[in-house]
Structure 1
Amino acid sequence: MSSMRVFQLGLRRAAAPAFRGNFAGRMVQRRLANSQSASQSSAEEILVKQRVNRPVSPHLTIYRPQITWYGSMFNRLTGIILSGGLYVFGFAYLAAPTLGWHLESQSLIATVAGWSAFTKASAKFAVAMPFFYHSLNGVRHLVWDMGRAMTNKAVMQTGWGVVGASVAASIYYGFFV
């Protein structure tokens, strides 16, 4: 322990008896405040008057929407959709034998084989779109983590690039594969 610290502790111990009271030797800092009790209704009136003078933070409606807003929102939504779908199917697959559902591969293949071509393509697109958007936007964030493409122009270009690439990849895998 340094000599300065020893000196400070010694001073505190020497001064402690002067501050004893209900605190049994602990040093307590006192701050005297002038206050008065108020009834519930007058306290609420004071609070309402204070709220009137508080600054109000601007609402989103005064700003022009930007690709970063939509990108962040859709990245979160697609993450929820993908993980939620995985959990729902996982729990359904585990509960299937007990509930009498047939979620074996053969049953699923037979069910999907009975769908029309448009229904199959739409289902594949509905799964592909969140997957591609979330994946490509994740790559975009990794690029940002490396400190690249952080200018306003690059952020807008990569945002719209992710949207375009996601739609193109989803249409390709949904309707042509």
Structure 2
Amino acid sequence: MLLSRVTRTALRVSRRDAQIFRLHPDGVLFSASPTSLLQIKNMSTPPKPHLSLVKATESNHVLIRQRLNRPVSPHLTIYRMSINYFTSPMHRITGVLLSGTLYCFGTAYLISPIFGWHLDSATIAAAFGSLPVAAKVAAKFVMALPLTFHCVNGVGHLIWDTGRRFSTKAIVRQGWTVIGLSVAGAVYLATMI
């Protein structure tokens, strides 16, 4: 068994390396092995392009022009804008706004005695009470809208965490429901006296 395998391999190698005489297209007789025949270049292939030297400033301009013609990857114009385009980033933005406001006011409240600021509850209530009714409602609406949006959209995210409502139709419906409930909740909280 081993002898037949060795014999077959030896025959294959000798056949592969055997010199074969071929007639070149120019009429010259030459010898070549079958593997070297694959390396003969056809005379009709076009010459390599000529490379030219470019100054550094010119190459910069060329690169800038090429980059301006490239699309953003993935190109944003191929997507159809849906409600989820707005609700997903707004959920993150409202979370940052709410927590940032809390941290800033908390820090200001803690350092107010050092600087002599009056940020105690009585002063803030008196300042807010002196505003006209329209300004009070507008201020409460501006404060309540991010809160209600973040809470209602957070419930939507909790529903998604259970693995439900992942169809496109359900996501669009949920997005519009979140916006409607957020505005309604903000109006309700703003008009409470």
TM bucket (normalised to shorter chain) is 0.5 to 0.7
Partner of 2:121: 105
Partner of 1:77: 93
Partner of 1:157: 173
Note the C-alpha offset of 1:62: 3.5
Partners of 1:137 and 1:90 lie apart in 2 by 25
Pairing 1:93–2:109 present:
yes
Q: Deviations over 1:13-45 (max 9, x none)?
A: xxxxxxxxxxxxxxxxxxxxxxxxxxxx6xx89
Letter in 2 for 1:165: L
Pairing 1:63–2:79 present:
yes
Partners of 2:114 and 2:81 lie apart in 1 by 49
Query: Could you tell me the TM-score, scaled by structure 2's length?
Result: 0.62
Partners of 1:130 and 1:61 lie apart in 2 by 29
Partner of 2:159: 143
SS of 1:82 mapped into structure 2? helix
Partner of 1:132: 148
Letter in 1 for 2:138: S
Note the C-alpha offset of 1:80: 1.1
Partners of 1:108 and 1:80 lie apart in 2 by 24
* Match 1:121 to one of 134, 137, 151: 137
Query: Structure 1 regions of 5+ residues with no counterpart?
Result: 1-40
Note the C-alpha offset of 1:76: 1.1
Note the C-alpha offset of 1:157: 0.6
Query: Could you tell me the TM-score, scaled by structure 1's length?
Result: 0.68
Q: Deviations over 1:77-97 (max 9, x none)?
A: 111110110011011101101
Q: Deviations over 1:34-63 (max 9, x none)?
A: xxxxxxx6xx89xx6xx88xx852322342
Partners of 2:189 and 2:115 lie apart in 1 by 33
How many residues were matched structurally? 136
Note the C-alpha offset of 1:64: 2.0
Q: Which structure: greater helix fraction?
A: 1
Please identify the structure whose Cα radius of gyration is greater.
Answer: 2
Q: Percent identity?
A: 43
Q: Which has the higher contact order (CA 8 A, sep 6+)?
A: 1
Partners of 1:153 and 1:62 lie apart in 2 by 20
Note the C-alpha offset of 1:127: 1.1
Note the C-alpha offset of 1:99: 1.2
Partners of 2:183 and 2:77 lie apart in 1 by 28
Partners of 1:61 and 1:174 lie apart in 2 by 38
Letter in 2 for 1:77: I
